Chain A
């Protein structure tokens, strides 16, 4: 052994990055104790009762004692329960002798693979059950599972459940396996297991309150609606007992929209409901270009027509795409490119 003069830094071996800090249980417990003590001190400071000091009171107290004008709410001083601050992590997966607890630890994604194994086991059980039923000459009962009412967990939710990073491929494999399990006729026995991975989707999408009709001086019913498309903003007032006249910003549509396509778009909601000659419309529009203004007025008129029409027809309008705001906007130009997608001319040298 030759003793060479070296520094301590060189003697340290190359330790790879160990990932985010792992918090031990004792550490978290200590944090919780400190938080509770701090809560009582804070209540004392504010002159309130330490027993009934809720989280909202804490937030208000901190905002009062440490005022901050920072924009990001997450950057301001906050005092929350340690379970909210420290992300839920896996505790250390191996014992004192260095031997891991789980048998699939060395795969890297132990919870994902154990989940896949479990699901496949359930699949095999269902198939065995099915074979038994066929052997006893009993017909396999197939109850149609309501597909529209539920959805599978998203990748992010599954990651939170397993406390492990997944790739898109892994996630899609898992979903395929679940679908395969559900497709079998005797899958009802494993309903509970499947329910863990599916979520209810609310049947009626965001029940929008349909405003009641308003009446103006002559007793004519009217209703207003607002619409937007790209940068154009429009408001429309639809009157009942009309002749089908449409006025935009004080001028007739024939003069304002010389192009046939725009006029077709304005007439679209009326034609769809079959009420072309029955309503009068007065609208104001600003911003955007020719087609954007037409789209904005279309949306505004469709929203205004909701008050004149039954709920079923409102649903039909929604399914025809008349009531959704078009989210498409102009894509920004990126640095290093000429436009939003077009790159500069590539020169070999």
Chain B
């Protein structure tokens, strides 16, 4: 059953658009049963318009767009986007510096692609288990609870952004600090990874209350 979120200008029968070019070039035989059904459904139902942030070009990445939206303040997407591109540039510069200074045998291990670093860093920051407040018998307990993929990604991004906004010297710019944090997270060091480990330890400590969860 389709539950409308508050209300939206689209009727509930509208489906999400599929922007990637590759999914339209697959020949018919390679599709599985589900994909065939999906295709038939798409042929009949109307489709929503693609949002302005989504594009079929190679440069648009859903994770990067989500991160820029979270960094945005008061709707200033231009500034957020420029900060993001400056961060990626800073990462690339730092990695290239390291690359040129490193000896021959280590040159292959150094990753220079800022997108790969970004994705890997956020992946390393994602917690596996989270805590939720459950009230039972008048007292509120912190109960360890499994998290959905979306929630994990959101928490990783949120921690990264709050970390960069608060724990820095007044004069450091956001791209600099962000690139620093992302590189640390890529190597599994840094305050964000520490925060993730703290959460895991809390969950392990409250393991006794795990049976309070009913879902």
Contacts and interface: CB of A to CB of B under 8 A. Distances in A.
A265 B55 CA distance: 7
B19 A148 contact: no
B53 A261 contact: yes
A139 B77 CA distance: 60
Nearest to B53: A261
B41 A147 contact: yes
Interface residues of A, number: 38
A146 B40 CA distance: 9
A125 interface: no
Contacts of B43: 148, 203-204, 315
A324 B49 contact: yes
Given A319-B17, A320-B17, A264 B57 contact: yes
Interface residues of B, number: 31
A148 B52 contact: no
| Interface of B (DSSP majority class) | loop
A268 B48 CA distance: 16
Interface in A296-349: 299, 315-316, 318-322, 324-329
A202 B40 CA distance: 12
Contacts of B49: 299, 321-322, 324-327
B52 to A, nearest CB: 5
A293 to B, nearest CB: 11
A101 to B, nearest CB: 34
Given A260-B81, A268-B56, A320 B44 contact: no
Contacts of B21: 272, 274
A91 B77 CA distance: 62
Contact of B56 (A146, A202, A272, A326): A272
Nearest to A201: B44
Given A172-B1, A205-B44, A322 B50 contact: yes
A324 B56 contact: no
B127 to A, nearest CB: 31
A264 B47 contact: no
A291 interface: yes
Contact of B44 (A203, A265, A274): A203
B59 to A, nearest CB: 8
A261 B56 contact: no
Nearest to B68: A261
B37 interface: yes
A203 B37 CA distance: 14
B190 interface: no
A320 B19 contact: yes
Contacts of A205: 44-46
A92 to B, nearest CB: 36
Given A271-B56, A321-B19, A148 B44 contact: yes
Interface in B28-74: 37, 40-50, 52-57, 59-60
Nearest to A175: B1
A211 B204 CA distance: 66
Given A147-B37, A147-B40, A319-B18, A268 B9 contact: no
Interface in A162-217: 172, 175, 201-205
A324 B17 CA distance: 10
B209 interface: no
A294 B47 contact: no
A274 B58 CA distance: 13
Nearest to A205: B46
Interface of B: 1, 9-10, 17-19, 21, 24, 37, 40-50, 52-57, 59-60, 77-78, 81
Given A264-B59, A320-B56, 7 more contacts: A264-B55, A268-B50, A268-B56, A319-B24, A321-B48, A324-B47, A327-B9
12 contacts: A148-B37, A201-B44, A202-B44, A259-B81, A261-B53, A261-B77, A271-B56, A271-B57, A319-B17, A319-B47, A321-B48, A321-B50
Q: Closest 4 A-B residue pairs measured CB to CB?
A: A321-B17, A321-B50, A148-B40, A326-B49
